[in-house]
Structure 1
Amino acid sequence: MASTGSLDEKVAAVEGVAEVDTESKDQSFSSDYEISEKTDFILHSSEAVIDRIRAAGDMDDILVDDSQFFVEKIRLMSPVEAREVLLYAVSYHEHDVNFPTATMNRIKELLLGENVYGKGDILYDLDLRLEASLIKFHSPYPEVRAVVSPTDDTSIPVETFRAYTIGIFWVCVGAFINQLIYFRQPHFTLSAQVIMLLTVPCGQFAAKYLPAWKFKIWKWTVNLNPGPWSFKEQMFTTIITNVGSQSCVWGQYAPVVREDLFYGQAWATFGFNLLMNFSTQLFGLGLAGIMRRWAVYPSKALWPTILPTLQLNRTLLVPESKKNINGWTISKYKLFNILLAGSFVYFFIPDYLFTALSTFNWMTWIAPTNKNLAFVTGSKIGAGFNPIPSFDWSVINYATPQVLPFFTYANKYFGAVVGAIVMLIMYYTNYKFTSYIPPNTSNVYDRYGASYSLTKVLKNNKLDATLYHKYSPPYISAGNLMYTCVAYANYTFAFVYILATEWRTFRDAVLGFVKGLKNRKSSNYADYRDPISKMMQAYKEVPDWWFFIIFAISLIFACVAMRAYPTDTPVWTVIVVLLAAIALLVPFMVLYSSTGFFLNPNMLGTILGGYLVPGSGLACLFLRTFGYVIENQSETYVGDQKLGHYAKLPPRAVFRGQAIATILSVFITSGALEFAHTLENFCSYTQSARFYCAWSHSIYSETVLFGVIGPSRTFDHLYPTMRWSFLIGACIAIPMVLARPLLHKYFKGFHPVLFLGGFQVWGSNYNLSYYTGGFYLSFAFMYYLRTRYLAWWARYNYIIYSGVSAGVAFSGILIFLALQYHPKTLTWWGNSISGSTADGLGVATLKDVPAIGYFGGANGTWV
């Protein structure tokens, strides 16, 4: 390919080309570039097109499998249409960090014409049509092309009897296990990929042995065995199990209400958990219908977190051709099985035989009693500055480094590094008495350096001012304080920044929503240029009012739970918090769908709860729950709708599957919560099987600060910095929006919302130890291999991730059931050294409580 001038000059020359009138450009273009006989011959040669696909630097090997499809599309596409498609791509993806830079540069070169390619270059027309065809009929993202087919067969069975039966069985198994294991640190899950391994043989067994009987139920014909187990049935089953087997949202809060370590409310038993589960689980499904227009239909809604599921589905059920890719000829299925077996065996080492390898705080072993070394390098209460922090996949994979785009992981990691430095500065300067507390913990402390005792300040479950002044104000760690301040700032920053930078997406979605209300027969898909959305017009859509009914039902359950039990939470406050959370839902979901970073407004519910029901920790907790559930559950349901969108499943089938699985999981997870309550020392940091309930401790500390003590005392007197965080976040968003074009030019991968999100890893006993190993992995797989060996990466990356993760999950479950549920302790140096250092003991502080017996203000001086 001939070229003149530097790449920067070529990019500058085409800058603004998308704003030029398309029609006038096309007229001159069509007259200047007639197809030569030789070019026409190339277009009719499948081999030539395949060779051209292979020659293109950022096009993956998966496309070769679909070469015949693209040959036909290229033949039918005119140069005028190709140019219009590329003009739109430049405009739509100009600041899209997921869009490959090499592809964008090549598109701009194509739009410049023969002055870049060279006069008379016969391959110019072919490249122009090829690039346009990829965007119009497939996806501009190589990670999506690697796992999604550009074609669809509407005759493939989806919503079958056997798919429902298998899916419901594994919903029951997965929901119980995942709910229970959630409380463990580090926790692992029976993920969609793992459960898929179990459902595939079940489906194939059913296809082989079930009789091919047909019978009618009302207007539906049920076929017990419609033939071979299809990949669409498998994906439908995966969506059912993914929705139904998740740990319930309320499960994160239930221990805080019931356990004696926290609020100790004995009335919060199975019946109450059932009501809360119904309300919280259904909220997300009800709102998912509205979110489709922002987070499912647009092509920018990449959803990197669901791509491994799609890849594994192809691996298990779609035949693959044998190829040599960078010297590798092993099939994906064989590689998956090897990695599964290897990680299954290996995980016994860091999880049971040699636990020091898990959170590998080896630097603190040099001087076990050195507190400063523990604070800087420690894996438990320290910052975690450790170049080799773990040999445990459940720790290294904590933030899914092989799934998130590299720019997402890098932004969060470097934000976490800067956050660690800020936290240590706060700690060593004794900001707000943090030096009397371990630097990174979610616990709440009193002025005597002990855990804060609510029983000393409560009277009838409400704060008693006299008792409070006799006892102590609450104090939190430097990590927890920094986390809270940055979380508040990031709420307002993200809201302003995302609305300003993605205004076109919001505008189009709002217009589509209004159009749908006015004309119920109009197609949601028709307003989007995404090729998959165009294909989905072949199926009946789910009406918006179906989702509204689900939302109304969930609201009724929430009101009943608040009124029927002594929750101390007025129903009107629930409505207020829900409306506030919904306002943040759209921009935060847009962020998550494109980056994989989930910014949850749970703490907003905490603050509102403190103001709306002063002095009540329980009310604060319940309102925090409803603020959290809107985002968390919507993310799950919308993500699975995108999964069905990529797999071209009928939307109504996906809706029915999600609803049935959700209702079933409500009962299963409620039972799992009851079982967890019977575990000895449940939620204590001394629990033998590591059921520490780390997130529950963090929730408890927030509700003490803002519910019991109240936001007025916390913001005005204890930690006034928190109050200004909201304003600071909104203010700095404006210059960042204005600077976005410059940042994109020199630092394309920088995303300020993600960078601030890196500060939020602190305050809940997680630190750099859970991110450094993942950063190495992310750099290797999501940057180096993805840019240098794209064909290899597209074929093997998600398989490697799924195989290792599946082995760890199966191994972890076996270890828990066989060796930890009824503890069989293996005592030796390798299992005791990590917990015997100043870091591992978890109680070391920079300053000891003064001789007078307390730190902070004098008796009775606090408000």
Structure 2
Amino acid sequence: MHEKDNSRKSRGKFFLIALICSFSWYVFPGYLFPTLSAISWVCWAFPKSVTAQQIGSGMQGIGIGSFAVDWSVIASFLGSPLVTPFFAIVNIFVGFALFLYVVLPTAYWGLDLYQARNFPIFSSHLFNHKGEPYNVSGIVNQNFEIDMPAYEQQGLVNLSVFFSLTYGIGFAAIISTLSHVAVFNGKEIHTQLKASFKGKEDIHTRLMKKYKSIPNWWFYLLLGLTLLLSLALCVFMKRDIQMPWWGLIFAAAIALAFTLPVSIITATTNQSPGLNIITEYIMGYILPGKPIANVCFKTYGYISMAQAVSFLNDFKLGHYMKIPPRSMFVVQSIGTVIAGTVNLAVAWWLLTTVENICQDHLLPPNSPWTCPGDRVFFDASVIWGLVGPKRIFGPLGNYSALNWFFLGGALGPVVVWLFHKAFPNQKWIPLINLPVLLGATAAMPPATSLNFNCWLIIGFIFNYYVFKYRKGWWQRYNYVLSAALDAGLAFMGVLLYFTLTMHGISISWWGSDGEHCDLASCPTAKGIVVDGCPVF
């Protein structure tokens, strides 16, 4: 990080050149030619075949052959593939390929699992038994709780086979995180913990001693203030928050328990397992029928852990870059306040100015306001909070068998560890990271097969050489290129929005009409009628 660049093109010059190229290129997929963001040529070759479009669509299907030449598609949900270790990319590829190319087709076409053909093959929406969109507003009362008579009249909530299986794999992934860290990193954690008490220091720690350390009371004070404020919201705004005060304490305890194992997975693979499913599951059983309580519990349990990992990541970078710890603390605190305020203001502005925002069935095909992440967040609040896991994944629902994934996730890393001990000379066995492999598709939904296709291709191309030639020239510029692509995309995206999109200036032609896979979301069961789809 501190070496000089006299003998080669400096990283600064390389960054500037790559930024200009990224900035200039994004005008095409971002405005002039949006179809470059979803090139699904199989759909073009078979415009009247539902099955072919299910196979070829990168947005609403398995995505075989689909790709994009748009960095926003590549890095939007999975982060930059340029900064992910090669062995982690291989794990993600194996998990993705097994799920999308083996498990999902078998469940849909082979077994018709959970009446899969009544619904789209790839969807995060909720359906009734007829394959129609579930009327969520019809089962919510004025207190934002479930209206049981209305729910019983409308019937059980149904998921696409893709959506249901992602939850099952998510069950396995989060439990495998604990067992993987226990068997592969337990001894190392114990050794490092003992070393920390003995005051063992590396070269970076000794160099950082020239700066004043952060007093512990700074952290305690910040924790106390935020905890008191959150407790006050739970006590004095109980009707709006729905979550009792003990729920906040319980969520904080979950975040604390998972921070260390998730941090280890993140540090070694650049992939962070999420706690969203487990926190939703727990609160859904404790307080069914209260969606806002479920969302709040997930936020304090999952997002708190994710922010802690991000905080540690920043401090570790500052540790290596020799940035004063107190400066890091102050900058992070100020940045948090600014980011939270700006995000809330922008969200409020968009919700009050953009008509039909996030309602993808009411928006034009090329609208940027489909909000895939927010839609999944909403559907999750219905599944886990409003309806509750007992009526979906429990004895009152259709998907109780998916709970067996918890057992598989707990035992999987133990099996890998036993194979490693039995065959110690096979160096590839310990590289099997089941939390990453099982969690490979954790971003789906809202991520699609198109996002994964592009991410994996770029990751293989660039990181293979870094992996194979550890001292090669490309390693010097890999992270710089990633930052430059992000920056160029961000600048052009903001420019396009404020100069064109905000004023309703758009162009309409074949290249701006989306993916051209209109039949990919059609059901294939006999007698299911959906507008715009053939009836089998």
TM-score norm. by structure 2 comes to 0.90
1:653 matched to 2:327? The reply is yes
In the other structure, the counterpart of 1:339 is: 18
Distance 1:683 1:321, change over 3 A: same
1:474 matched to 2:157? The reply is yes
Matches within 5 A, 1:741-756: 741=421, 742=423, 745-747=427-429, 749-756=431-438
In the other structure, the counterpart of 1:794 is: 475
> In the alignment, is the contact (CA less than 8 A) between 1:490 and 1:756 conserved in 2?
yes
1:449 positional shift: 2.1
1:711 matched to 2:396? The reply is no
1:512 positional shift: 6.5
1: distance between equivalents of 2:233 and 2:15?
Answer: 45
Distance 1:381 1:792, change over 3 A: same
1:727 positional shift: 2.3
1:418 positional shift: 0.7
> In the alignment, is the contact (CA less than 8 A) between 1:379 and 1:769 conserved in 2?
yes
In the other structure, the counterpart of 2:227 is: 555
> In the alignment, is the contact (CA less than 8 A) between 2:293 and 2:385 conserved in 1?
yes
1:431 positional shift: 0.9
In the other structure, the counterpart of 1:60 is: none
In the other structure, the counterpart of 2:447 is: 766
1: distance between equivalents of 2:443 and 2:401?
Answer: 19
Distance 1:786 1:409, change over 3 A: closer
1: distance between equivalents of 2:320 and 2:342?
Answer: 29
1:509 positional shift: 5.0
In the other structure, the counterpart of 1:683 is: 358
The runs of 5 or more residues in structure 2 that have no matched partner are 530-536
In the other structure, the counterpart of 1:433 is: 115
1:546 matched to 2:218? The reply is yes
Equivalent in 377, 381, 386 of residue 60 of structure 2: 381
1:374 positional shift: 1.7
2: distance between equivalents of 1:730 and 1:695?
Answer: 28
2: distance between equivalents of 1:338 and 1:659?
Answer: 33
Matches within 5 A, 1:599-638: 599-638=273-312
The one-letter amino acid paired with 1:354 is: F
In the other structure, the counterpart of 2:254 is: 580
Distance 1:446 1:822, change over 3 A: farther
Secondary structure of the structure 1 residue equivalent to 2:477: helix
Q: Deviations over 1:628-661 (max 9, x none)?
A: 2122211221111011101112222212222232
1:736 matched to 2:408? The reply is no
The runs of 5 or more residues in structure 1 that have no matched partner are 1-146, 150-318, 324-329, 516-523, 852-863
> In the alignment, is the contact (CA less than 8 A) between 1:352 and 1:815 conserved in 2?
yes
2: distance between equivalents of 1:423 and 1:148?
Answer: 48
- Structure number with bigger Rg: 1
Distance 1:829 1:850, change over 3 A: closer
Q: Which runs of 4+ in 1 moved over 6 A?
A: none
Equivalent in 365, 380, 401 of residue 81 of structure 2: 401
The one-letter amino acid paired with 2:488 is: G
- Of the structure 1 ranges 717-726 and 482-491, higher mean CA displacement relative to structure 2 is found in 717-726
1:765 positional shift: 4.2
Distance 1:369 1:567, change over 3 A: farther
1: distance between equivalents of 2:527 and 2:383?
Answer: 22
Secondary structure of the structure 1 residue equivalent to 2:222: helix
- Of the structure 1 ranges 586-595 and 750-759, higher mean CA displacement relative to structure 2 is found in 750-759
> In the alignment, is the contact (CA less than 8 A) between 1:415 and 1:758 conserved in 2?
yes
In the other structure, the counterpart of 2:402 is: 722
- Of the structure 1 ranges 667-676 and 745-754, higher mean CA displacement relative to structure 2 is found in 745-754
In the other structure, the counterpart of 2:146 is: 463
Secondary structure of the structure 2 residue equivalent to 1:576: helix
Secondary structure of the structure 2 residue equivalent to 1:681: coil
- Of the structure 1 ranges 415-424 and 740-749, higher mean CA displacement relative to structure 2 is found in 740-749
2: distance between equivalents of 1:415 and 1:501?
Answer: 20
Q: Deviations over 1:401-455 (max 9, x none)?
A: 1111111122112211111021222122221122211122211112232222223
Equivalent in 320, 330, 353 of residue 5 of structure 2: 320
The one-letter amino acid paired with 2:32 is: L
Matches within 5 A, 1:23-42: none
Distance 1:760 1:665, change over 3 A: closer
In the other structure, the counterpart of 1:847 is: 525
In the other structure, the counterpart of 2:200 is: 527
The one-letter amino acid paired with 1:577 is: A
1: distance between equivalents of 2:399 and 2:216?
Answer: 44
Distance 1:848 1:350, change over 3 A: farther
1:834 matched to 2:515? The reply is yes
1:422 matched to 2:103? The reply is yes
Q: Deviations over 1:798-839 (max 9, x none)?
A: 222222332222111111222222322211112226246323
Q: Deviations over 1:569-594 (max 9, x none)?
A: 21111211221232111101111012
Distance 1:474 1:334, change over 3 A: same
1:751 positional shift: 1.9
Matches within 5 A, 1:89-238: 147-148=1-2
The one-letter amino acid paired with 2:377 is: I
> In the alignment, is the contact (CA less than 8 A) between 1:360 and 1:834 conserved in 2?
yes
1:722 positional shift: 2.8
> In the alignment, is the contact (CA less than 8 A) between 2:130 and 2:528 conserved in 1?
no
1: distance between equivalents of 2:212 and 2:389?
Answer: 49
1: distance between equivalents of 2:430 and 2:287?
Answer: 45
1:321 positional shift: 0.6
1:544 positional shift: 3.2
In the other structure, the counterpart of 1:77 is: none
1: distance between equivalents of 2:167 and 2:243?
Answer: 24
1:696 matched to 2:374? The reply is yes
Q: Deviations over 1:740-788 (max 9, x none)?
A: 34375244643222111113243x1423311222222222221125524
1:474 positional shift: 0.7
- Of the structure 1 ranges 493-502 and 787-796, higher mean CA displacement relative to structure 2 is found in 787-796
Distance 1:395 1:726, change over 3 A: same
Secondary structure of the structure 2 residue equivalent to 1:438: coil
The one-letter amino acid paired with 1:680 is: E
> In the alignment, is the contact (CA less than 8 A) between 2:81 and 2:459 conserved in 1?
yes
2: distance between equivalents of 1:776 and 1:767?
Answer: 15
In the other structure, the counterpart of 1:819 is: 500
1:389 positional shift: 0.8
1:508 positional shift: 4.1
Secondary structure of the structure 2 residue equivalent to 1:396: helix
2: distance between equivalents of 1:785 and 1:848?
Answer: 51
1: distance between equivalents of 2:495 and 2:371?
Answer: 20
The one-letter amino acid paired with 1:469 is: E
> In the alignment, is the contact (CA less than 8 A) between 2:92 and 2:440 conserved in 1?
yes
> In the alignment, is the contact (CA less than 8 A) between 1:621 and 1:703 conserved in 2?
yes
Secondary structure of the structure 2 residue equivalent to 1:666: helix
The one-letter amino acid paired with 2:415 is: P
Distance 1:731 1:751, change over 3 A: closer
Name which structure has the greater RCO, CA cutoff 8 Å, separation 6+: 2
2: distance between equivalents of 1:555 and 1:482?
Answer: 36
The one-letter amino acid paired with 1:846 is: T
> How many residues are matched?
514
Equivalent in 595, 609, 613 of residue 269 of structure 2: 595
Quote the sequence identity (%). Answer: 24
In angstroms, what is the RMSD of aligned CA positions?
A: 2.3
1: distance between equivalents of 2:113 and 2:217?
Answer: 52
1:453 matched to 2:135? The reply is yes
Secondary structure of the structure 2 residue equivalent to 1:834: coil
TM-score norm. by structure 1 comes to 0.57
Distance 1:614 1:802, change over 3 A: closer
